[in-house]
Structure 1
């Protein structure tokens, strides 16, 4: 349900962005609100739609079934990952309503400590929501890799393309998320 709600939010944001790009200034007169919308849309799609829904929601029952495993390697990690996902989405949603919003995409990334960065509670909420979403994705990824590698009947050459894509995506995610988190908070 939360994944569907997040997906619908992302579709609405994408539609508003496309309308604004086709006729600049007609729908949104405030550039700061537009920049906030673009930033929130990017973060929502990356951390809260693609990874948790593709891997966390759809993959939770499909991957064990395709591997012949009774369940994921760490079932309680799925629950924790899911609840962190909800908290991260709520924090990201709150950033629209605090002061002047999150701002443009470049204000989220380094240099946050520089004079051109935006220091507001909205930025703190956005950064924390990114960390919560990243932690949720890392836990889900480790769970998927553990499930795939520990299944007793695992024969790597017989994996389907979906299993390989999830496995490789999970490996890349575990390597990339800490680098992103470090870059964001430098």
Structure 2
């Protein structure tokens, strides 16, 4: 979910299809878009290194608090996992800010909000939910 579904659906297909559907050349904030992309590989590498360090973070993908406590995982693997998820979350937040501003600002003047495609609506609503 953190490293495939959201980056591929929001980042990949959203960044590729959103300008096409809005009749625009690029997204609203291309540098923010770039930063959103380049936060993902270091975050994924940090998660991979945390699995190889010590006994790994044995909390599952939910990182449930009793197992994520320092009493159960005193090594740096749990800290690296949490920092990795923070980086992935920052990437998602930057991407969602870019998607919302792109839907609101880059569409042509003749295209009202009720004329945009269902995909653009779904990306915008998912981005709003990510920011909440």
TM-score range, shorter chain: 0.7 to 0.9
Change (3 A) 1:49 1:162: same
* Aligned 8 A contact 1:107 1:118 in 2: no
* TM-score of the superposed pair, with normalisation by structure 1: 0.64
Which whole-Å CA distance do the structure 2 matches of 1:55 and 1:106 have between them? 20
Structure 1 counterpart of 2:94: 139
Which whole-Å CA distance do the structure 2 matches of 1:106 and 1:164 have between them? 29
Secondary structure, aligned partner of 2:24:
coil
Structure 1 residues 41-97: Cα deviation after superposition (integer angstroms, max 9, x where no partner): xxxxx2211111111122212101101122100001111111101111101111221
Change (3 A) 1:159 1:106: closer
Shift of 1:151: 2.2
Q: Which runs of 5+ in 1 are unaligned?
A: 1-45, 176-186
* TM-score of the superposed pair, with normalisation by structure 2: 0.88
Secondary structure, aligned partner of 1:105:
coil
1:63-102 mapped onto 2 (5 Å cutoff) = 63-102=18-57
Which whole-Å CA distance do the structure 1 matches of 2:33 and 2:61 have between them? 32
Do residues 49 (structure 1) and 11 (structure 2) align?
A: no
* Aligned 8 A contact 1:47 1:137 in 2: no
Shift of 1:110: 2.6
Greater relative CO, 1 or 2 (CA 8 Å, sep 6+)? 2
Pairwise CA RMSD:
1.9
How many pairs align? 129
Change (3 A) 1:114 1:95: closer
